Structure 1
Amino acid sequence: MATYVLIPGMCHGGWTFEPITEQLRRRGHRVYPMTLTGLAERSHLLNATVNLETHIQDVVNLLVAEDIEDAVLVGHSYGAMVITAAADRLPERVDSLVYLDAMVPRDGDSCWSLVTDQERQWYLDVAETGYVVRPLPFFDTRATGHPLASVLQAVRLTGDLGRFRRRDYVYATGWDGESPFTTFYQRFQADPQWHAHALDSKHNLMRDAPEKLLAILLEDR
């Protein structure tokens, strides 16, 4: 039995993993689909102080409070920033990392520094508050604004991802136009220490390719 901690991308809650969560639990695994502070059903907690560090601490606190060991941390898009740092803080509690169409940061990187100019234009489309990135029109109707500070703040890492038993990168090939994650996929496809996968799917792999994604999540667990 594995323990999966599922971290969504910008503007989304743990419910974005519903198709995967149900299937993993049916197979006897422990699954924690997280909603980060200030998002979705926790949007009432959003204020100007919520940042990347807040979200990292969300995951760290869960791992400790639930006494999770050998966790499989799964991060979609922005969620990959969070799982990378959480694993760096508590490597003894993490077995493997799964990146779902996501950026993979090094020390000092931020979402802002890793994405394309098109993505940056979206980040700067803030709501009237000045600190909330608006959800895009095609997002799930449950999506809410995302804290701008979390995509601007640089991540601080002290160790190497090679510490973890397994690392998977899952790339979505169905983008309309250029994917901001192509360079990551190409890097890990050429690295024998990574398991790189390409799925015929749009960015929301959980919704558009759940069966193929489930097979990857279950591989060697």
Structure 2
Amino acid sequence: MATFVLVHGSFQGGWIWKPTAAVLRQAGHEVYAPTLDGCGERHHLIRPGITIAAQGREVADMMFYEDLRDVVLVGTSTGGLVICKIAELARERISRIVFVDALAPQPGERVSEIVQRDPNTAPMPTTELTRGPTREEMENRLFADLEPELRTWAVERCTMHPVEASDAPGELDAFWWQTWDARVIRCRLSANPPESHQRRTAEKLDADWHEMDAGHYPMLSHPEELAALLQ
């Protein structure tokens, strides 16, 4: 059986993986779905200095203290940036890295240069330390493809995201110059990240390529199918 570390994206927490984690655990796998600093149930800890690199370091540290080995490291959305940093910091503990409809910028590249945001969409509310969508945007755009009950469940758990970990370059020193056993899973019904970006990730990593007929949150909408692709 495998050990999975599942990393969430912006406005989320480890909770986003709950349905998929349950499927993986039922199959006998060991599953960790940590909530990143300043996110989810840790949103009250928001403060300056929560960056992608810092979030990557805390998960790499968790893997060390839990003594996790042969880890299948999975990231979704902006969690793709975080898993790149985790993998770089804990290479000896990683067996495979999986990008689920995830961002994987090149060094110095910003999320805003990749994501194609509708120009008619109002800017996200932003504070000195956080940014995030309104409830209306979550219901009508981000989670619009989910069943009503599941959509409500997800919207109620979304939180603002640390602004320093929202659009900064991933501070990667060596990730893209190393060889990885990698897999890219694109969700066809999701506009972002663009297909071209995800294909670039697969090409640069010589990764396996898979597609799902799902929106941006397959870990909620298609947990069985996603779990099968992760194994």
| Interval containing the TM-score (normalised by the shorter chain) | 0.7 to 0.9
| Cα 1:42/1:195, change in 2 over 3 Å | same
Which residue does 2:163 correspond to in 1? 148
TM-score (norm 1): 0.86
Aligned residues: 212
2: CA distance between counterparts of 1:214 and 1:18?
Answer: 11
Residue 225 of structure 2 aligns with an amino acid whose one-letter code is: K
Which residue does 1:19 correspond to in 2? 19
Moved over 3 A (4+): 159-162, 185-192
Deviation at 1:133, TM superposition (A): 1.0
1:186 aligns with 2:187: no
2: CA distance between counterparts of 1:86 and 1:26?
Answer: 26
Deviation at 1:126, TM superposition (A): 3.0
| Alignment gaps of 5+ in structure 2 | 144-153
2: CA distance between counterparts of 1:16 and 1:192?
Answer: 26
Which residue does 2:147 correspond to in 1? none
Deviation at 1:184, TM superposition (A): 2.5
1: CA distance between counterparts of 2:175 and 2:7?
Answer: 21
TM-score (norm 2): 0.83
- After superposition, where does 1:1-221 map in structure 2 within 5 Å? 1-118=1-118, 125-127=124-126, 129-135=127-133, 136-138=137-139, 139=143, 140=154, 141-157=156-172, 158-160=174-176, 162-164=178-180, 166-175=181-190, 178-187=191-200, 193-218=206-231
Which residue does 2:150 correspond to in 1? none
Q: State whether residues 131 and 147 of structure 1, in contact with CA within 8 Å, keep that contact through their aligned partners in structure 2.
A: yes
| Cα 1:186/1:152, change in 2 over 3 Å | closer
2: CA distance between counterparts of 1:96 and 1:137?
Answer: 31
Residue 52 of structure 2 aligns with an amino acid whose one-letter code is: L
Q: State whether residues 3 and 30 of structure 1, in contact with CA within 8 Å, keep that contact through their aligned partners in structure 2.
A: yes
| Alignment gaps of 5+ in structure 1 | none
- Aligned-pair identity (%): 30
Deviation at 1:50, TM superposition (A): 1.6
Q: State whether residues 102 and 181 of structure 1, in contact with CA within 8 Å, keep that contact through their aligned partners in structure 2.
A: no
CA-to-partner distance for each residue in 1:154-177, whole Å, 9 max, x for gaps?
12221436522x2111111113xx
| Cα 1:189/1:41, change in 2 over 3 Å | closer
Deviation at 1:125, TM superposition (A): 2.2
Mean Cα deviation higher: 138-147 or 4-13: 138-147
Mean Cα deviation higher: 74-83 or 203-212: 203-212
Q: 3-state DSSP class of the match of 2:50?
A: coil
Q: State whether residues 87 and 175 of structure 2, in contact with CA within 8 Å, keep that contact through their aligned partners in structure 1.
A: no
2: CA distance between counterparts of 1:33 and 1:114?
Answer: 26
| Cα 1:34/1:183, change in 2 over 3 Å | same
2: CA distance between counterparts of 1:179 and 1:16?
Answer: 18
Mean Cα deviation higher: 61-70 or 179-188: 179-188
| Cα 1:161/1:25, change in 2 over 3 Å | farther
Greater RCO (CA < 8 Å, at least 6 residues apart): 2
Which residue does 2:148 correspond to in 1? none
Deviation at 1:186, TM superposition (A): 3.3
| Cα 1:191/1:145, change in 2 over 3 Å | closer
Residue 104 of structure 1 aligns with an amino acid whose one-letter code is: A
